[in-house]
Chain A
């Protein structure tokens, strides 16, 4: 058994930032199922928001965020996010991140959807890559201890507080217990519940699922962001920066159709609105091959494309065989971001003492019903630091963890895995994963109805029943990825059920959650956060008030 003051689960931007904060004063270990630099944060393209230009202000940033969220964000949390934004960006700059620059040497900022100012700082279209590498370098400098390629399997409770985690050492196949006084979940989003997703293949929401199983509620799970522009075929993201730099969206009649949906903002309306616009064009027969629209960058010219969007050009050439300097890019909406996650407050605290959540795995909530582009990289760094400080403070008085519950938990997990590996007849997990992803893509997408959601819920529950008899086939203990992926599938099935339940219960349309059978926002009944709780095998839905503040709840139009 291992023992630490704090365990951070996840080595993306948020996990690393927490660890840096803790490393000076406490024994902290970061567990990650992949090497930290392979974390999903590395793939973020467009940029990170901070009100840093002359006329811009944190209030303006806060207003845009609250309005973008369709008033579901907690305004106290948004205030913290936007006030601390410049600090987070500057800190990373001083650590060495190579931001793109203006002629006079300042950090360059580009316009992003739903923002009143160009306030998205960027490093070409490789912002996440630059931030993650820099933050990892700083974690190395601070001597943070890493357990790379360790898959966390469960949380250990010790009475009313956290006692540690159990984890599978992927290299050996052994299960180990980690006793800790505090645990921070920073496992990122769960986009892979869907098939058409921009997310890394490892974004399976493990942290959210193990928290749910440990009795911690998930919040606002129905709010799934569909990014308007993902590459037709592979669903790789084409950054909003492409529209920020001036890209047009065209239907098959060569028409800039956004004029019908957001005449003022056009292509730079918030994501939910652009995603619905594209889906509508396609559903009404104005898409190419009945499936996608074009994102046209050609008028930007070769020089600008090469300088500002080199990664996009590379993606188009390698994954679609087209050069955006010469041809428009075929795009369609795809799952992109998980607004929902572990229910926690502005300090990352959950209902379980000593358990914290941060980053995309958490729902604090700053994004409400719809996240603005550039706000989530910001969330990871701002709250990585602040949650780290909160954990520090908690550790001053937190009691030592006990070994016994951790040992017992490790024993239980070992038994559970053996049981799973014993089945020698049954369905392959891959089949079930395909069904789950198909159900989510088709029935829990950009537009939703009661009928479809009910069917989806039934089908996911059937898949869960079938999962009990799943058979992994023969493998070795070492690097058993068939096992890892099966555990991920089990986690995702709980998350899929949570998403659908939240969506079914929310009889209104708000932000990214769009019900064709309830096409209006209903503040009377639903200006509230959804909470999903799991007790034994039953899921229940309840609600909790939104923290309102200085921005009055209004109709949202662009």
Chain B
């Protein structure tokens, strides 16, 4: 069984939303550079998949691919899963403590108390409205900026975009039954528990394109309420399947003869 491959889909969400396209705003990576993948870090990645075969020519094994969508310029995927919900809870607790303190020290309303209340109101941030569509993944969270601070509705221009979500993988490679993609759930901390994965039939060499349907989220304010509105865009990529045998990464030699230097063997006298 070969190593599973990861394809990172890095999206400049802000720019993609502003220009309504993923083209020029998506950067793709895989970990097959040494195996011949081309155009790493651009929107034109061609993922190299080297088939492995038995000596009679039959396919030895399929290849497994995983896609990881990330947002450029948001809170990185290395913070714990559900970070926005955690921040919402922390700031609620802090505001409660501050309110208690304020209540304890002033019994009569005053300008000071009002200013203090305003300060607390700001530090408590703004919650996103939970709609039927966004219940679950983004429910109960507050608007958090790119440094992890909660923000109020007047400062949402600095909001950290939620990571892109792949909602479908289709196109030539799928239609011609080269790869079989599906969405899986897992306790993976990095990808929010859901990820797209595919097995690739490596027995038919060639270059095959495929499309990804990607959902971004735009922060909109309607009737004084904030919510993340989904925006669906697509982007293309390609797989290049070759029938070259796998190579030894240390010697660059194939899997045939062992790379023994061709010096004379002892006892032969040459």
Chains A and B bind each other: no
Query: Which A residues fall within an 8 A CB radius of B?
Result: none
